[in-house]
Structure 1
Amino acid sequence: MSGLKPDFEASTPPGGEDSSQGALAFHPSHITLSTFNRLLACYASTVEQVHRSKLIQKLQSKQKSKPKRKSAETSTDAQDTTPTQRTELTPAEEKHIQDDLDTFLKLDRWRYETLPKNLAKRKGDEAHLTKDELVDIMTWKTSHGRPRPMLIGMIKANQPSTITKATSEAFTSIPVSDPIKKPEESFPKLSLDTLTTSLRGVGPATASLILSIATVVGEPMRQVPFYSDDTYLWLIFGVYPIPGEGQVKVKGVKANGELDVKYNLKEFRGLWEEVQILRRRLTGGDLGSVSTVDVEKVAYVLRHIAVSGYYSDQHHEVREATVVESTEISGGETKKRKVKEGKTRSAKK
């Protein structure tokens, strides 16, 4: 999708503005502001459901890896060796899951609400991150997305003074130019380079996250999007849900679901451009109406649409797994690849 021209006319997907039946309803070039805002409203419930599932899977994985003690009964019965899969949690397990979930949701609110406001209050040379804040940012990143334990250790190896200096220089050098009219001047290359060359464990993706947090409060033209897998899947690879369709393997996505990307500056620049174009198209030029963080959250909901609650007020069959599809637009037609059938459930009012 790189290279798209900004389109200031709202495109209406087949079946009406908010039609969830339309194959292009969630296509970046066709999604409407109304649909975008409905998806955005689902972020809180989506992130809670997704993280809860992660915690349960982690708990069950630990239980499977523990060696089982043989009792008098089981030692004499060598025929039944199939492990039993429990579907319910004990009260103690439920409390453990809920405590961990509450901790993460608090961190999630801190990343999206508290820290951006705190940074906005630090004017001039005072605009910087502390070491504890940078560690917490990485903790959020590796909990919200893919686990990367090694990165936490690398981040902790940075000296507090180095973090203060690098983030201060990066924040003060973010350009203030129209990202559509002057893309060369507004792309924050210097800020990104400052962070990636000064701080251990900080690559272009993490640097973009730091800049995103620091710019979401303030001048809309300065906002920097986070290079998240979810946003890249949606805006660059063209992966988004199509009601009633299953999951399809698309170019750029590995068999294990990870992105086949390098997370380099060139890739981020392409994503940065598409985020700005989407913001401009949705709002007719008023970038303040849709933030880069809004785009990030909507992309996350789209990737996890089956648990988002988006279809809760409609009669649809929703895949238990994340429903995605890759489409090609040619002459107004949507070309769909054949997909493997999967399990469905009915979403009712």
Structure 2
Amino acid sequence: MTTVSASIATAPIPAEWAPHRAMWVGWPSHADLWEDNLEPAQAEVEALVRALAGPGREQVRLMVGHPEALAEAKARFAGVAGVTVVDGRFGDIWLRDTGPIFGEGSANAAAFRFNGWGGKYELEHDDTVADQIGAASGVTLTRHDVVLEGGALDHDGRGTILTTRQCLLNPNRNPGWTQDLAEAALAKALGARKVLWLGDGLLNDHTDGHVDNLARFVAPGVVACPVAWGRGDPNDDVYDAVAQALSQMTDADGNPITVLRLPSPGFVGDEDEKPVPASHMNFLIANGAVIVPTYGDARAADLACQGLATVFPDRKIIPLPSLAILSGGGSFHCISQQEPE
């Protein structure tokens, strides 16, 4: 693997709905982190992997992050077409944030500094995941000396990037960053032509408001975001502020943003009934499918899936449980990273 220094801006990052040559997924590997949720989380990730590797879909590269988990993972997926188990090392499974962001045709990939989501969770090997994925995929990494996580951004494939001020301008990432400095860095590293800035993310999100839990491009000029579901949704005001802001924005080509509102999962709490950042927005767009995380409210999940079917008519919409994965802080989008064709 060759690593080169950052220089000129690249072409815009492909949209997630562009064809993929592979999809990386992190495998829950550390019993000391997951405790009683290890086996349930593994079961949920297995269901995700099998859905991704369905006929005509993804070549899944399942990264196992601890040697004690490797043999069992290989045995679990032995004979499953389209799944390659990769022996790696990571602190935890959030490859969207720790891995590289692949460019057009996966001819190269952008690698950033990772500091444990602003110093909250600094786990051994997480800062080497980009190198490991670059080496395993045979892709040259272009290094950028800024702290950035992939889940903090969403891309329309045409140079429009969606993000939040709460995360990207947080001083626990890049002290002194302004919108202008951030936009210049995104243009240089990821080919951004325009950045759409939202405010705060979900309550109690330890990522400081990653946009992939809040709002997602589903087509050029179309952004999905939640609408509160049921009583006591802790993010009701945030969702409405996002929808209002998006309705007044245009993309890099000057086209007004169309807002697609989908039901949130409603209130989801931990064992102490503290709200946790459950979101249908953490769906994963795959070759031939969209995998939607669900959290126990079947009606809310069904309506969210029906809404996504209107913008992805040629993909199968697959709802899958993600409560155990959520106990670690994220869902399907957070644990994956695509390699575009």
Q: Which has the higher strand share?
A: 2
- Specify the structure having the higher radius of gyration (Cα): 1
TM-score, normalised with respect to structure 1: 0.29
> Which TM-score applies when normalising by structure 2?
0.29
